[in-house]
């Protein structure tokens, strides 16, 4: 049977048990070491260490020198290579953890932005609804103009009523006295 390339292989059992490590603890340790390796104090102390090493093995007592200059300071080179070989993976582990944190932060920022956009769109729709509703509401100036028109109509009607009443009064005044008071003429017999 042919193996499928789109699926991972089944894990093989090993004769040797794998040591279980806390990934988070290892990550925190690698970050703390990587942080220290990236500080000026690390460079300072490494420089002091190398200077002391070179001075001791160049001008120190002949019998106490442990890394000969004639051999090119082989032990120092080996120690610095060992330090670099451990520093590189620790720095990469720290960068991977930082990338994971950045990815989570970017996802949270994206979700927050989506919520803000949805809230903004909702508020824009609500504002549009309020504007439409306010377009149908009578404003103070509109109510004042309507009241003025009503007052003018009432004043006109009052004037017409007063004029009609005045005409009626004048008509009564012109009528003979007996008709004014509602008296009838007595028939003369």
Identify the residue whose tokens are 């002091």. Answer: 48
Same domain? 102 vs 148: no
Same domain? 160 vs 101: no
Report the alpha-carbon distance of residue 118 to residue 108 in Å, rounded.
15
Q: Which structure tokens are listed for 18?
A: 């794998």
Helix, strand or coil, per DSSP, at residue 123: helix
Domain contains 145? yes
Domain contains 4? no
What is the band of 12 on the pLDDT scale with cuts at 50, 70, 90?
low
Query: DSSP string spanning 139-163?
Result: PHHHHHHHHHHHHHHHHHHHHHHHH
Domain contains 2? no
pLDDT tens per residue across span 39-59 = 999 999 999 999 999 999 999
Q: What is the predicted pLDDT for the residue at 42?
A: 93
Same domain? 31 vs 76: yes
Asked if the model's pLDDT at residue 184 lies above 70, the reply is no
Please indicate, yes or no, whether the overall pTM of this predicted structure exceeds 0.85.
no
What is the band of 29 on the pLDDT scale with cuts at 50, 70, 90?
confident
Q: Which parts of the chain fold into alpha helices (H)?
A: 23-37, 40-59, 74-136, 140-174, 177-180
pLDDT tens per residue across span 72-107 = 899 999 999 999 999 999 889 889 899 999 999 999
What is the band of 176 on the pLDDT scale with cuts at 50, 70, 90?
low
Same domain? 106 vs 49: yes
Same domain? 92 vs 155: no
Domain contains 182? no
Q: Is residue 25 within 8 Å of 97, Cβ to Cβ?
A: no
Q: What is the predicted pLDDT for the residue at 133?
A: 82
The mean pLDDT of 2-15, rounded to a whole number, is 73
Report the alpha-carbon distance of residue 50 to residue 80 in Å, rounded.
9
Same domain? 120 vs 29: yes
Q: What is the predicted pLDDT for the residue at 186?
A: 56
Helix, strand or coil, per DSSP, at residue 183: coil
Q: What is the predicted pLDDT for the residue at 136?
A: 74
Report the alpha-carbon distance of residue 67 to residue 101 in Å, rounded.
44
Structural domain including 157 reads 140-173
Same domain? 169 vs 103: no
Q: How many domains does the chain have?
A: 2
């Amino acid at each position: 049977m042919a193996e499928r390339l789109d699926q991972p292989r089944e894990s093989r059992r090993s004769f040797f048990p794998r040591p279980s490590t806390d990934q988070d603890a290892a990550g925190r340790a690698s970050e703390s070491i990587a942080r220290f390796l990236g500080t000026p104090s690390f460079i300072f102390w490494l420089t002091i260490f190398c200077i002391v090493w070179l001075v001791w093995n160049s001008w120190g007592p002949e019998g106490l020198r442990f890394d000969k200059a004639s051999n090119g300071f082989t032990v120092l080179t080996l120690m610095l290579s060992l330090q670099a070989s451990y520093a590189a993976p620790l720095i990469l582990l720290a960068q991977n953890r930082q990338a994971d944190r950045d990815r989570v932060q970017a996802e949270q920022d994206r979700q927050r932005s989506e919520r803000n956009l949805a809230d903004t769109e909702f508020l824009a729709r609500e504002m549009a609804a309020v504007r439409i509703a306010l377009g149908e509401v009578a404003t103070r100036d509109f109510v004042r103009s309507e009241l003025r028109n009503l007052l003018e109509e009432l004043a006109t009607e009052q004037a017409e009523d007063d004029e009609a009443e005045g005409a009626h009064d004048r008509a009564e005044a012109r009528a003979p006295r007996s008709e004014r008071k509602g008296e009838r003429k007595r028939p003369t017999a």
